[in-house]
Structure 1
């Protein structure tokens, strides 16, 4: 007799049955840090700028910035400006009831 497989409802729902919320939250935070690193490199690459050509930064500095999971805001602003972009940092409500965003920094 063939055993019928239980159908999964959703990844998040089923994951919560097997893994603690703390582990899930840490994994999400780690993933966001990795995405941040990729986005910094992508930002520079979209402008066609090599690591050696970022104004005001050595190649080693650019490599370190792009591989860090956290960065000073002032360094981020300088790096983003050197890549030809502006920076805007917003505070966004966690709960969807209020969609009002607050701009904390526009540089």
Structure 2
């Protein structure tokens, strides 16, 4: 008689990872991942507008390249860059643990 195969229960990746990796390393990896995503989104923002690096008003191609490869940027530079790409900036504060998900707008530019 064949044994019934037991189904493996799929669990949350974060939960499974926490069993093997210290939480501080997980948090550090998430922070680094967010920085990389931010860089990609800046370039994507410009590209979706059909703007070449050489055509961003007020910025040289070298400056645009540096901005898009930085993981940390001054808010004033971000605002200028986003404006040059034809967008506005809105920075919000969102509670981490509050289920209401109230958002507080900190900056509209």
TM-score of the pair, normalised by structure 1: 0.91
Give the 4+ runs in structure 1 shifted more than 6 A: none
Please list, as runs of the form range in 1=range in 2, the aligned pairs for 1:1-107 lying within 5 A after superposition: 7=8, 8-107=10-109
Secondary structure, counterpart of 1:44 in structure 2: helix
Q: Give the Cα separation in 2 of the matches to 1:17 and 1:6.
A: 21
RMSD: 1.6
Secondary structure, counterpart of 2:19 in structure 1: helix
Structure 2 residue runs of 5 or longer lacking an equivalent are none
Which deviations, in whole Å up to 9, do the C-alpha atoms of 1:55-102 show, x marking residues without a partner?
000000000000000100000000000000000000111113232111
Which moves more between the two structures, 92-101 or 21-30? 92-101
TM-score of the pair, normalised by structure 2: 0.89
Structure 1 residue runs of 5 or longer lacking an equivalent are none
